[in-house]
C-alpha cells in the first residue's frame, strides 16, 4: 500500500480525483506521446505514458475507447494509448479486501494437509529485480522501445545499495517461515535469482524450474554446487554454444572431483532449453499432492509450469496474488458444496499481502519477534554471498 494519495488521471473523474492509499486503483502505461499532442485527451498521461485511476474510472476510460459512450469521442492516438495500456495494466485491491483475503488465506494454510507454494518474478521486485509483464517489466520495456522508440522506455526506480548482491524480500522470508512451521510442504519457483535458497529453503524442498543463477553443474559427472557469486562471472574455459538456446552455459570453472575434468555449466533454462527432468518431476509429484497452492508474483502464463497449479486434489484450492489477471483466476472464486469460496484472488503487492497473512498466523506477539530478527537474517545472507 502506498503511503501517499495518488491523483486519478481521468479528467472526468467523479470521485474528487484523489485516490487514498487504502483504496483500490489501477496503474497503466501506454507509450510516449509529446505533451503538445496530448492536448484535449481525457487522460492526463505522463511523459512515459503512465496513468493512475480509480477502478471505476479505468473502466469508464476503457468504455470510451470501445465507443460505448456516444457523447464523448476519443482521438485515434488516445484510443491506441488505452489499448496499449490495457495489455499491462496493474490492479491493486483495497485495504479492506486485503484484510479480508489475508484472513481467508491464513485459515486455508492452517487447515491444509499439503500446501505448496508457486512463485514468479513478482515476489522479487521489492528486492530490486524487475519483473517481465508489469508496466515497467523487462518484456514491456523491450516491446515499447521497439515499437515507439527509447523515449517510451522507463525502468522504474533506481535502487541504490552498498551490497553487490540482492536480499530476500518479506515474501521470501515469509515462505521460509511457513515452511519451517510445516504450513508449506514444498515450493515451486520460476525464478533464477537464488533468493529462495538464500532465505533458507533446502534443496530437497524446492523445484527451481528455470534454474538458479548461483548453482552450477558438471557436464560430465553431474556434480552440482552452489557458488557465492553468480555463475555468469567467470570466463576461463573455451566457450561452447548451446544447440537449443544459442547461449554458452559454461561458467568458466572445471569440476572439483579428482580425475573428472568436466566443465561446470550454469543451470539457467533459457528460451529453447528443456526443463531438467528431475526438477520438473519433483514439482509435478508435489503438485499432485497439493490441496492448497499459494501462487505469488506470477501471471501463470509459462507452460508447462502453469499447469502444475491445478494437478492437486479436488477441489483446486488456489490462492493467487499478483498485479495482473491470470488464466486461473476463476479457480480462486469457485464455490464448494457448502457455498463457501474455495480459494482466494488478491490483486496487488505480495509483500503487502504476506505481512497481513503472517500477522494472522503468528499473532501480534510472535510477529514482532520474527520481524525484528530481520537484521540477523541479513547478516547471514551477507556471509553467504560474500
pLDDT tens-place string over residues 227-240: 888 765 555 788 88
pLDDT of residue 139: 41
Please state, in angstroms and rounded to a whole number, the distance separating the CA atoms of residues 301 and 320.
13
Q: How many CA atoms lie within 13 A of 61 on its CB side?
A: 33
The more confidently predicted of residues 1 and 272 is 272
Binned at pLDDT 50, 70 and 90, residue 152 comes out as very low
Residue 221 annotated as binding? yes
CA–CA dist 345, 329 (Å, integer): 7
- Residues making up the chain, counted from first to last: 386
Q: How far apart are CA 180 and CA 60, in angstroms?
A: 46
Query: What is the pLDDT at residue 146?
Result: 38
What percentage of the chain has pLDDT greater than the value 90?
78
pLDDT bucket at 151, cuts 50 / 70 / 90: very low
Mean pLDDT, the chain, as a whole number? 90
Query: Band of the pLDDT at 279, cuts 50, 70, 90?
Result: very high
pLDDT digits (tens, 9 = 90+) for 169-205: 999 999 999 999 999 999 999 999 999 999 999 999 9
What three-state secondary structure class fits 321? strand
The confidence score (pLDDT) of residue 230 equals: 74
Vertex 92, ends 86 and 97: CA angle to 5°? 135
Of 306, 315, 310, the closest CA to residue 341 belongs to: 315
Q: Is the pLDDT of residue 349 over 50?
A: yes
Q: Residue 148: what pLDDT?
A: 43
Q: Which three cell numbers stand for residue 20?
A: 487514498
Contact 261, 284 (CB under 8 A): no
- Say what the pLDDT of residue 149 is: 45
Do 187 and 116 touch, CB atoms closer than 8 A?
yes
As beta bridge partners, residue 26 has 53, 91
E strands of 56-108, at which residues?
A: 90-92
Q: Read off φ and ψ for residue 345, nearest 5 degrees.
A: -125, 120
Flag whether pLDDT at 132 surpasses 80: no
Q: Which residue has the cell 471505476?
A: 56
Report how far residue 293's alpha carbon sits from residue 343's, in angstroms, rounded to the nearest whole number.
9
Confidence at residue 352, expressed as pLDDT on a 0 to 100 scale: 98
Q: Once rounded to an integer, what is the mean pLDDT over residues 149-153? A: 41
C-alpha 161/C-alpha 156 separation (Å) is 16
Q: What does the pLDDT look like over 23-52, one tens digit per residue?
A: 999 999 999 999 999 999 999 999 999 999
Ordered by where they begin, the domains of the chain are 6-92 (no CATH), 95-129+166-210+275-385 (3.40.50.1220), 215-274 (no CATH)
Q: Above 90 in pLDDT, residue 150? A: no
Parallel, antiparallel, or unpaired for β 50-53 and 25-29?
Answer: antiparallel
Check residue 51 and give its pLDDT.
97
Can 338 be counted among the known catalytic residues? no
Q: What is the CA radius of gyration of the chain?
A: 23
- C-alpha cell of 186? 514444498
Q: Which of 54, 165, 210, 249 is catalytic?
A: 210
How far from the centroid of its chain's Cα atoms is residue 370's Cα? Answer: 24
Q: Is 13 annotated as a binding residue?
A: no
Tell me the average pLDDT across 366-372: 97
Chain CA centroid to CA 114, Å: 23
Check residue 234 and give its pLDDT.
Answer: 54
CA dihedral 211, 377, 287, 125 (to 10 degrees): -60
Question: What pLDDT sits at residue 66?
Answer: 92
Note whether 192 and 184 are within 8 A (CB): no
Compute the average pLDDT of residues 61-72: 88
Give residue 133's pLDDT band: very low, low, confident or very high (50, 70, 90): low
Distance CA 134, CA 298 (A): 10
Q: Which of 141, 210, 171, 129 is nearest to 346 (CA)?
A: 171
pTM over 0.75: yes
DSSP 272: T
Amino acid at each position: 500500500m502506498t503511503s501517499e494519495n495518488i491523483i486519478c488521471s481521468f479528467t472526468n473523474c467523479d470521485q474528487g480525483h484523489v485516490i487514498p492509499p487504502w483504496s483500490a486503483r489501477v496503474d497503466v502505461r501506454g507509450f510516449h506521446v509529446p505533451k503538445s499532442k496530448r492536448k484535449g485527451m481525457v487522460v492526463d498521461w505522463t511523459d512515459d505514458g503512465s496513468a493512475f485511476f480509480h477502478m471505476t474510472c479505468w473502466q469508464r476510460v476503457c468504455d470510451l475507447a470501445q465507443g460505448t459512450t456516444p457523447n464523448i469521442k476519443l482521438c485515434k492516438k488516445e484510443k491506441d494509448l488505452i489499448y496499449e495500456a490495457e495489455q499491462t495494466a496493474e490492479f491493486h485491491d483495497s485495504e479492506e479486501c486485503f484484510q479480508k483475503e489475508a484472513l481467508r488465506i491464513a485459515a486455508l494454510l492452517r487447515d491444509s494437509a499439503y500446501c505448496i507454494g508457486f512463485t514468479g518474478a513478482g515476489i522479487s521486485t521489492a528486492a530490486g529485480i524487475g519483473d517481465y509483464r508489469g508496466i515497467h517489466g523487462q518484456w514491456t520495456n523491450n516491446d515499447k522501445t521497439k515499437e515507439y522508440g527509447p523515449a517510451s522506455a522507463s525502468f522504474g526506480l533506481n535502487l541504490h545499495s552498498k551490497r553487490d548482491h540482492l536480499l530476500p524480500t518479506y515474501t521470501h522470508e515469509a515462505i521460509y517461515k511457513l515452511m519451517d512451521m510445516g504450513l508449506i510442504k514444498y515450493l515451486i519457483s520460476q525464478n533464477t535469482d537464488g533468493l529462495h535458497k538464500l532465505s533458507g529453503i533446502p534443496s530437497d524442498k524446492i523445484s527451481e524450474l528455470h534454474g538458479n543463477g548461483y548453482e552450477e553443474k558438471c557436464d560430465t559427472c553431474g556434480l552440482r554446487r552452489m557458488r557465492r557469486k553468480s555463475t555468469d562471472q567467470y570466463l576461463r574455459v573455451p566457450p561452447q554454444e548451446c544447440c537449443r538456446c544459442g547461449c554458452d552455459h559454461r561458467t568458466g570453472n572445471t569440476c572439483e572431483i579428482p580425475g573428472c575434468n568436466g566443465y561446470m555449466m550454469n543451470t539457467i533454462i533459457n528460451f529453447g532449453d528443456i526443463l531438467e527432468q528431475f526438477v520438473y518431476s519433483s514439482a509435478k509429484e508435489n503438485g499432485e499432492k497439493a490441496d492448497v497452492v499459494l501462487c505469488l508474483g506470477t501471471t501463470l502464463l509459462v507452460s508447462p509450469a502453469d499447469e502444475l497449479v491445478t494437478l492437486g486434489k479436488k477441489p483446486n484450492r488456489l490462492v493467487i496474488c499478483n498485479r495482473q489477471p491470470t488464466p486461473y483466476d476463476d479457480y480462486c472464486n469457485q464455490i464448494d458444496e457448502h457455498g463457501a469460496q474455495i480459494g482466494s484472488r488478491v490483486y496487488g503487492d505480495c509483500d503487502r499481502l504476506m505481512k497481513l497473512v503472517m500477522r494472522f498466523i503468528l499473532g501480534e506477539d510472535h510477529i514482532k519477534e520474527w520481524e525484528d530478527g530481520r537484521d540477523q537474517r541479513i547478516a547471514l545472507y551477507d556471509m553467504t554471498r560474500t
